[in-house]
Structure 1
Amino acid sequence: MEVRSIYKYARMSDQKVREVTRAVTGMPVSQAINVLAFTPKKAAKLVGKTLQAAIANAENNHELDADELFIKSATSSKGGMQKRIMPRARGSAGAIKKRMSHITVVLAQREADETKKAPVAKKEKAKKAAAPAPAPEPAPASATQE
């Protein structure tokens, strides 16, 4: 089951937020919270709020355990843009674009059985492929040989 939370019109450009979302994608929720708490960026605080909202949605609406969740995807897309002007020389004006973004966090439940079985199967296949074929045993010498 997937749980989604969206923070719309965050007052930060999507490029700056994308740096933080890429860092936490694929992490377990508890580890992602710690990483965001110690990341010295404004975007980390915004992504953290969105992550906390997604965790609350999972626990309250879908009755999922927060310890079993991981961040399936965390994305940032372009939002609106506030356009302002700054006076420039000789009566002209320079454009200022105050960019916004939409932050989306999707959580999924990690299955304990799937994570344990998948790596073991890959390791066994690798061992079988790497192991050389056993050499045929020589025929036993007869006792009547002189």
Structure 2
Amino acid sequence: MGKPSHQRRLPENEAQAVVRSLRVSPQKLNLVAGLIRGKKVDRALAELEFSEKRIAGDVRKCVMSAVANAENNHSLDVNDLIVAEAFVGKNLVMKRFHARGRGRGAPILKPFSQLTVIVRQVEEDKADKKKPSKKAAKTTSRKPAAKAASDEAAATSKEAK
């Protein structure tokens, strides 16, 4: 019999990978995840390769796993993938104590976190069509002030004649 298949939660052009129980605080992991959000996959992997953060290697493995899922399970083109989302969640917290003076103890919290990376396939032609730059828009939409004033004066003198 087997289990019934679930509907896919993601669109057809996306794939994800989840890493649970990473031994780092979510705040520190979010700094590394912020480095790769919205970037092309090859650029994100390069930044993680040369990052000095300890957890960057595990984040890199997660991105590579998401790319492998996209390629093998969903038949997406690896060259067109971007890191659409990279979000961090809390996991368990190990609670330890550190012995202090006079028989007291100080808490030590060892947090774990989890990382979800979603990669999306985007078409190259959409990425190449960018909005015109602000400088180009300004030059085409307005005339210089002196030229505009002289055009208005010429128009009024023609009307007067």
* Range into which the TM-score falls when normalised by the shorter chain: 0.7 to 0.9
Aligned twin of 2:69 = 57
Aligned twin of 1:90 = 102
Match of 1:73 among 85, 88, 92: 85
Aligned twin of 1:141 = none
Aligned twin of 1:8 = 20
1:63-112 CA-to-partner distances (Å, cap 9, x unmatched) read 11111001112122211101111211111111111001111111111212
Describe the SS at the equivalent of 1:3: strand
Aligned twin of 1:115 = 127
Report the Cα distance in structure 1 between the residues aligned to 2:124 and 2:37, rounded to whole angstroms.
19
1:31-75 CA-to-partner distances (Å, cap 9, x unmatched) read 111110100111211110110110010000011111100111212
Match of 1:18 among 30, 42, 52: 30
Report the Cα distance in structure 2 between the residues aligned to 1:86 and 1:118, rounded to whole angstroms.
56
Matched, 1:104 2:116: yes
1:14-38 CA-to-partner distances (Å, cap 9, x unmatched) read 1111111111111110111111010
Instruction: Quote the offset at 1:128 in angstroms.
Output: 3.8
Assess, with a 3 A threshold, how the Cα gap between structure 1 residues 23 and 124 changes in structure 2: closer, same or farther.
Answer: same
- Bigger mean CA deviation after superposition, 89-98 or 126-135: 126-135
- In the superposition, the TM-score normalised over structure 2's length comes to 0.75
Aligned twin of 2:46 = 34
How many residues align? The count is: 138
Report the Cα distance in structure 2 between the residues aligned to 1:95 and 1:47, rounded to whole angstroms.
28
Consecutive aligned runs of 4 or more in structure 1 exceeding 3 Å deviation? 120-128, 130-136
2:68 is aligned with what amino acid?
Answer: A
1:8 is aligned with what amino acid?
Answer: R
Describe the SS at the equivalent of 1:42: coil
Identity fraction in percent: 33
Residue segments in structure 2 that go unaligned for 5+ positions in a row: 1-12, 155-161
Assess, with a 3 A threshold, how the Cα gap between structure 1 residues 100 and 112 changes in structure 2: closer, same or farther.
Answer: same
